[in-house]
Amino acid sequence: MLKQIVDLHVHSKYSRACSPQLDLPNIAAACNKKGIDIIATGDFTHPAWFKRLEENLEETSEGVYELRDPTLALPFAKGREIVAPLLSKGGGRGRSHVRFVLGTEISCIYSHKDKTRRLHLLIFAPNLEAVRKFNAELEKRGVNLKADGRPIMGLSGKEIVQICLDIDKNMWVVPAHAWTPWFAVFGSKSGYDSLEECFEELTPHITAIETGLSSDPTMNRRLSRLDNITLISNSDAHSLEKLGREANILQFNDEESLTYAELKRIITTGDRKKFLNTIEFYPEEGKYYADGHADCKISLTPEEAITNKLKCPKCQRPLTVGVLHRVVALADRDEKEIPKNKFIPHQYAVPLLEIIAGAFRVGVASKKVRAEYESLIKKLGAEFDILLNIPIDKIEGAVSNKNIAFGIQNMRAGKVAVKPGYDGIFGVVDVFSDKKYHRPVQTSLL
């Protein structure tokens, strides 16, 4: 069995507000450090990025690609050096651990049922030919693909699903960060109350949604109408260091079965033998968890927001209604009513840089934090291994500050204190608190 950590939503340097470091070799090297095995290419509608994909990637199994030159994926975390060539392929070249699948994000802004809708969708393709056709279809409809790696278009979510199906039945549409206020299928500002309202008779083709940083599977599972939808978790990284901050752990039988079709099958069917779990942010850490108004530094619970008639108590402008509020408003059952053992499990993680920064009591960007991070990767292995698997005593032996090991231990035990994010401001997770994490129980709104 081949366990793979999978991140299906990332961006390249061609997307707005994204790091110029996000080029293929850097992404592969960062995946090696993080322990990500399969990553989406991102941005495949952008002509310059698509050219890079064509030039630098080689299909190594159906719909799965690797860097033509695996040495470009340097440097490596311990244990992730270039591996021997596959016997079945016979070639003399080794390969890196990192595999790519063709996946991107688009932004649909259109009017539907008397409202302006703004929807981000993930689009996956089984091969470069399908991507070429998809890009051509968008250009035919006047979409400017050069402007942004995440292009904006006036097409509806449903039209996009139809375009994909017409090109190749293995293309696949997944609503991105489904609950965020501004650009999501269930968003408070411009979304819908159900998938059916959005995708109408094409809804059966929507088999998965991305939970986004501000919601977790437990929140999503309060909607029984999502029972047949698989929940996936991805980073939506705009910089190398954010890759894999949320991810999926899938299992494949062997190298041969590691194909795009199998990846899509596992997720689409919610195959619990193969979809082991998702790795999640504490949803409070997401920047749209609570309701609030950032300019006034006001953060409110859904109940408080309703009491204040959804207005900022300081300046009276409309609040940004967050993810929790939307989930509670659309939920039809309590957390305790969620069927047990029916869904893919999840676990929470806090990025290693944040734990190190907390231990040193300095900012994440500080040189000291970076140096310790690099040193631990070299000594112990990939970040996911450090966060999830490596025994604490071994970590204690490698860190320069014992608090780091203590923080990781607390994180694994769920001993964290969280301060919720709101209106674009990230929440804060403290792994040095002694409290056991308790999700505040939200039953229903007034």
Chain residues binding Zn ion by CB under 5 A are 120, 176, 293, 296, 312, 314-315
Identify which of 346, 324, 339, 174 has the alpha carbon closest to the alpha carbon of residue 277. 346
Give the whole-angstrom CA distance, residue 334 versus residue 216.
14
Tell whether omega for the bond before 217 is within 30 degrees of 0, i.e. cis: no
Cβ within 8 Å of residue 211, ≥6 positions away: 177, 178, 179, 217, 219, 220, 231, 232, 233, 246, 278, 280
> What is the closest distance, in whole angstroms, from the C-beta atom of residue 209 to Zn ion in the complex?
13
The distance of closest approach from Cβ of residue 206 to Zn ion in the complex, given in angstroms and rounded to an integer, is 16
Strand ranges inside 68-207, DSSP E: 99-112, 115-125, 152-153, 172-175
Of 298 and 405, which CB lies nearer to Zn ion in the complex structure? 298
H-assigned helices in 22-127 = 24-34, 47-56
CB of 317 to Zn ion, least distance (A): 5
Pair of tokens at residue 200: 């109408």
- Please report where in the chains the tokens 């090696």 appear, as a residue: 32
- Tell me the angle at which helices 128-140 and 157-167 cross, rounded to the nearest 10 degrees: 130
- Closer of 123 and 377 to Zn ion (Cβ): 123
Q: Residue 30 or 312: which CB sits closer to Zn ion?
A: 312
Output 82 or 296, the one with its CB closest to Zn ion: 296
The distance of closest approach from Cβ of residue 105 to Zn ion in the complex, given in angstroms and rounded to an integer, is 5
| Smallest distance, Zn ion to C-beta of residue 294, A | 8
CB of 254 to Zn ion, least distance (A): 34
Task: Compute the least distance from the CB of residue 162 to Zn ion, in Å.
Answer: 21
Compute the radius of gyration of the chain from its Cα atoms: 21
CB 10, CB 149: distance < 8 Å = no
- Burial track 386-418 (b if 16+ CB lie within 10 A, e otherwise): bbbebeeeebeebbeeebbbbbbebbbeebbbb
| DSSP H stretches of helix in 285-414 | 302-307, 323-330, 352-360, 367-380, 383-388, 392-398, 402-413
- Which residue, 172 or 373, has its beta carbon nearer to Zn ion? 172
CB of 236 to Zn ion, least distance (A): 6
Tokens standing for 428? Answer: 């804060």
Give the residue with the Cβ less far from Zn ion, 216 or 372: 216
- Residue 15 or 135: the one with the smaller Cβ distance to Zn ion is 15
Q: Which residues contact 41 (CB under 8 A, 6 or more apart)?
A: 10, 12, 49, 53, 57, 65, 100, 101, 102, 103, 104
φ/ψ of 301, rounded to 5, equals -75, 165
Nearer to Zn ion, 99 or 120 (CB): 120
Task: State in angstroms the smallest separation of the CB of 177 from Zn ion.
Answer: 6
Q: Which is nearer to Zn ion, 29 or 173 (CB)?
A: 173
